[in-house]
């Protein structure tokens, strides 16, 4: 066999990973192979592999007799919609995609390239965890990845798809990355699996219930997205990429947009007159942003706040919006954490923020106080205060108490603050306020109920409107809802070259 044939043979062998039998077994589980996933993800014929012929160095437990080219991970670079990305895709057909010293080195190598060349990295995870035959060397490999994930955080976007098992400390690399996407029914993430759980806590739980896509989407909030199947996961990964820039010094791609009739008549009727009647803020978002451009993040978690990417006149924005249709749009621990994390991503990657406000305040109760609504609510306050990207606020209805301040008020650095004419901006609702400040007067009255109603009406007249705030310049303009989209198009365009620098520091200390 000549040298070229030898090379061809090696490459053909590498393409088969752990062999045809294991590939068939992977397919039987409804899963694609590492290479099939890359083919789906990247633009046709753009993938260039790095380290195809790497093998492990282990000699324990007869490992020297079991070597597979690639050592359980396919790594390299290619393009998505003509933009450079780096990819690693774990190959479950080789030792269950488990992570050896050399497997880790391959991942680290492309992480370094991604950092040095300022392009995102996408990890397709499908792994039995640490390569058991290698012991501590494998743990070291994981830690090398965690360290690089942390160094890369805020420099390049890092995205993790979970397409199979992801257990033990292995979960911490995805957790440090910016976004996690899990495939329903075929992926799971947990620090300790069902067997250990049973031994330690006597709880009986399946892998799916403990750490499947549904659990992490709705209960823990660990995953930002779920996908029905692998092809759906890859489709969503590509969509996500369309909103984000290559690195922290870049801007997100701009899509062509021609101004037309930007009036949105529906907006004048979407928000009920009765302040206690709920409505779906997602309908407001759909009206305000470019058609079909809203891509929701963390859809099933803390539904009382809505976050996601969208476009306004072709430009990427991040949307943060209270959701009156869930818990009246109140701010609580989970919604504050969810929104804060999203705001920090957008700020790190130059994506302007649109904050839609309809918030009655913070959720009261021992559960919230004892679990730290103070420090958790402060996360959102801190994140928005720290953000230097263009920040625009629209108060669609209520903005009460501390939540008014937190939700991107002028005072914490918003660039443009709009309110609809029915907005209520005050310390608290008229009834509660009247009960406190007119307590003596009401008690002394012949008809306390009537007196309270009178005082409530008086307070409402004075404060439950946007004009006090507008008089102070805290609201820049009270806008007819129909006109808001055009105001936002112009506003974000005006803010396009905003420069705002934080004071010199090593790093801030967000209340974690
Ligand atoms: C080496 C492994 C492996 C591992 C699986 N394999 N996990 N080899 N190290 N961690 C191998 C199997 O021997 C098998 O080889 C092939 O991969 C497929 O595994 P199966 O068990 O046949 O597949 P399946 O039934 O689908 O089960 C998948 C699995 C199970 C649930 C992942 O394999 C499993 O429980 N593996 C062990 C998981 C684990 O405990 N990992 C260590 C966690 S501790 P053949 O030759 O038959 O194809 C950890 C710490 C990380 O990860 C800490 C970081 C800080």
Give the chain's domains with CATH numbers: 3-241 (3.90.226.10), 267-423+465-494 (3.90.226.10), 428-464 (no CATH)
Tell how far the Cα of 59 is from the centroid of ligand 1, in angstroms. 18
Q: What is the pLDDT of residues 41-92, one digit of tens each?
A: 999 999 999 999 999 999 989 899 999 999 999 999 999 999 999 999 999 9
Pairwise CA distance, residues 406 & 381, whole Å? 5
Q: Ligand 1 pocket, 34 CB below 6 A?
A: no
Q: What is the pLDDT of residues 147-162, one digit of tens each?
A: 999 999 999 999 999 9
Alpha helix (H) ranges present in 325-483?
A: 333-348, 366-370, 373-386, 401-406, 430-437, 439-444, 448-463, 467-471
Alpha helix (H) ranges present in 349-392?
A: 366-370, 373-386
Give strand pairing partners of 322.
305
Pairwise CA distance, residues 293 & 313, whole Å? 10
Pairwise CA distance, residues 510 & 512, whole Å? 6
The pLDDT value given to residue 428: 84
Tokens of 319: 């949307």
Query: Which ligand 1 atom minimizes the distance to the CA of 96?
Result: 17
Q: What is the pLDDT of residues 401-457, one digit of tens each?
A: 999 999 999 999 999 999 999 999 998 888 888 889 899 988 899 999 998 999 889
Closest CA to 313 of 358, 254, 364, 266: 254
Q: Ligand 1 pocket, 196 CB below 6 A?
A: no
Q: What is the pLDDT of residues 249-302, one digit of tens each?
A: 999 999 999 999 999 999 999 999 888 899 999 999 999 999 999 999 999 999
Q: Ligand 1 pocket, 120 CB below 6 A?
A: no
User: In this model, does residue 400 exceed pLDDT 90?
Assistant: yes
DSSP letter assigned to residue 248: T
**What confidence tier does 170 reach under pLDDT thresholds 50, 70, 90?**
confident
Which helix (H) or strand (E) covers residue 461, if one does?
helix 448-463
Closest CA to 285 of 302, 299, 300: 299
* Range in 137-151, 372-386, 433-447 the model is least confident about: 433-447
The pLDDT value given to residue 168: 86
Q: Ligand 1 pocket, 170 CB below 6 A?
A: yes
Tell how far the Cα of 129 is from the centroid of ligand 1, in angstroms. 6
Tell how far the Cα of 98 is from the centroid of ligand 1, in angstroms. 6
Mean pLDDT across 473-501:
97
Cα Rg of the chain, angstroms: 26
User: In this model, does residue 27 exceed pLDDT 90?
Assistant: yes
User: In this model, does residue 390 exceed pLDDT 90?
Assistant: yes
For ligand 1, atom 46, name the residue with the nearest CA. 95
The tokens 């260039």 sit on which residue? 48
User: In this model, does residue 17 exceed pLDDT 90?
Assistant: yes
For ligand 1, atom 55, name the residue with the nearest CA. 169
**What confidence tier does 378 reach under pLDDT thresholds 50, 70, 90?**
very high
Instruction: Tell me the pTM.
Output: 0.95
Q: Mapping DSSP to helix (H, G, I), strand (E, B) and coil, where does residue 163 land?
A: coil
Q: What is the pLDDT of residues 348-366, one digit of tens each?
A: 999 999 999 999 999 999 9
| Count of helices and strands (H, E) across the chain | 21, 17
Give catalytic residue positions. Answer: 168-169, 402-403
Counted residue by residue, the chain has a size of: 512
Q: What is the pLDDT of residues 253-266, one digit of tens each?
A: 999 999 999 999 99
Pairwise CA distance, residues 410 & 414, whole Å? 5
DSSP letter assigned to residue 488: H
Q: Ligand 1 pocket, 104 CB below 6 A?
A: no
Tokens of 215: 């659990």
Which helix (H) or strand (E) covers residue 232, if one does?
helix 230-241
Query: Which ligand 1 atom minimizes the distance to the CA of 25?
Result: 26
The pLDDT value given to residue 139: 95
The pLDDT value given to residue 148: 98
For ligand 1, atom 35, name the residue with the nearest CA. 128
Pairwise CA distance, residues 352 & 372, whole Å? 29
* Range in 18-27, 242-251, 396-405, 453-462 the model is least confident about: 453-462
Closest CA to 322 of 351, 362, 374, 367: 362
Pairwise CA distance, residues 387 & 409, whole Å? 13
Pairwise CA distance, residues 419 & 467, whole Å? 9
Q: Ligand 1 pocket, 22 CB below 6 A?
A: yes
On average, the pLDDT of the chain sits at: 96
Q: Ligand 1 pocket, 142 CB below 6 A?
A: yes
For ligand 1, atom 53, name the residue with the nearest CA. 169
Q: Checking DSSP bridges between strand 158-162 and strand 121-125, what pairing results, if any?
A: parallel
Give strand pairing partners of 292.
none
The pLDDT value given to residue 403: 97
């Amino acid at each position: 066999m000549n040298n070229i044939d030898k090379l061809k043979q090696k490459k053909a062998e590498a393409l088969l990973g752990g062999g045809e039998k294991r590939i068939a077994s992977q397919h039987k589980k409804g899963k694609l192979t590492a290479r099939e996933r890359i083919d789906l993800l990247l633009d046709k014929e753009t993938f260039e592999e790095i380290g195809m012929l790497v093998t492990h160095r282990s000699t324990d437990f007869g490992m020297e007799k079991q070597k597979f080219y690639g050592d359980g991970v396919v790594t390299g670079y290619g393009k998505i919609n003509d933009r450079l990305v780096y990819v690693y895709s774990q190959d479950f057909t080789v030792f269950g995609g488990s992570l050896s010293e050399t497997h880790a080195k391959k991942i680290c190598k492309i992480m370094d390239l991604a950092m040095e060349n300022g392009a995102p990295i996408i990890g397709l995870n499908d792994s039995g965890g640490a390569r058991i035959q290698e012991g501590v060397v494998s743990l070291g490999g994981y830690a090398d990845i965690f360290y690089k994930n942390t160094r890369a955080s805020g420099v390049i976007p890092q995205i993790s798809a979970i397409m199979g098992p992801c257990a033990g400390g292995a979960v911490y690399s995805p957790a440090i990355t910016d976004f996690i996407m899990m495939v329903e029914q075929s992926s799971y993430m947990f620090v300790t699996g069902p067997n250990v759980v049973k031994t330690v806590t006597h709880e009986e739980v399946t892998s799916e219930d403990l750490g499947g896509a549904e659990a992490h989407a709705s209960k823990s909030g660990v995953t930002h997205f779920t996908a029905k199947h692998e092809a759906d996961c890859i489709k969503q990964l590509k969509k996500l990429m369309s909103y984000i820039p290559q690195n922290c010094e870049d801007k997100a791609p701009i899509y062509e947009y021609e101004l037309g009739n930007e009036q949105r008549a529906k907006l004048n009727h979407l928000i009920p007159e009765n302040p206690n009647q709920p409505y779906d803020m997602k309908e407001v978002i759909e009206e305000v942003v470019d058609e079909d451009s809203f891509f929701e993040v963390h859809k099933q978690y803390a539904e009382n706040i809505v976050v996601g990417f969208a476009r306004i006149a072709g430009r990427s924005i991040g949307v943060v919006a209270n959701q009156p249709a869930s818990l009246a749009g109140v701010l609580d621990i989970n919604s504050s954490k969810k929104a804060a994390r999203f705001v920090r991503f957008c700020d790190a990657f130059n994506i302007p923020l649109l904050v839609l406000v309809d918030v009655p305040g913070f959720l009261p109760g021992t559960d919230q106080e004892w679990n730290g609504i103070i420090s958790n609510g402060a996360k959102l306050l801190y994140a928005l205060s720290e953000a230097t990207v263009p920040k625009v606020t629209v108060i669609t209805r209520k903005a009460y108490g501390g939540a008014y301040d937190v939700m991107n008020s002028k005072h914490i650095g918003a660039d443009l603050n709009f309110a609809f004419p029915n907005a209520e901006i005050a310390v608290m609702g008229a009834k509660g306020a009247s009960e406190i400040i007119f307590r003596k007067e009401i008690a002394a009255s012949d008809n306390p109920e009537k007196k309270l109603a009178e005082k409530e009406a008086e307070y409402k007249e004075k404060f439950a409107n946007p004009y006090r705030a507008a008089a102070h310049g805290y609201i820049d303009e009270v806008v007819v809802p129909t006109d808001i989209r055009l105001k936002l198009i112009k506003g974000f365009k005006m803010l396009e070259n905003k420069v705002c620098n934080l004071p010199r520091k090593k790093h801030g200390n967000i209340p974690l």
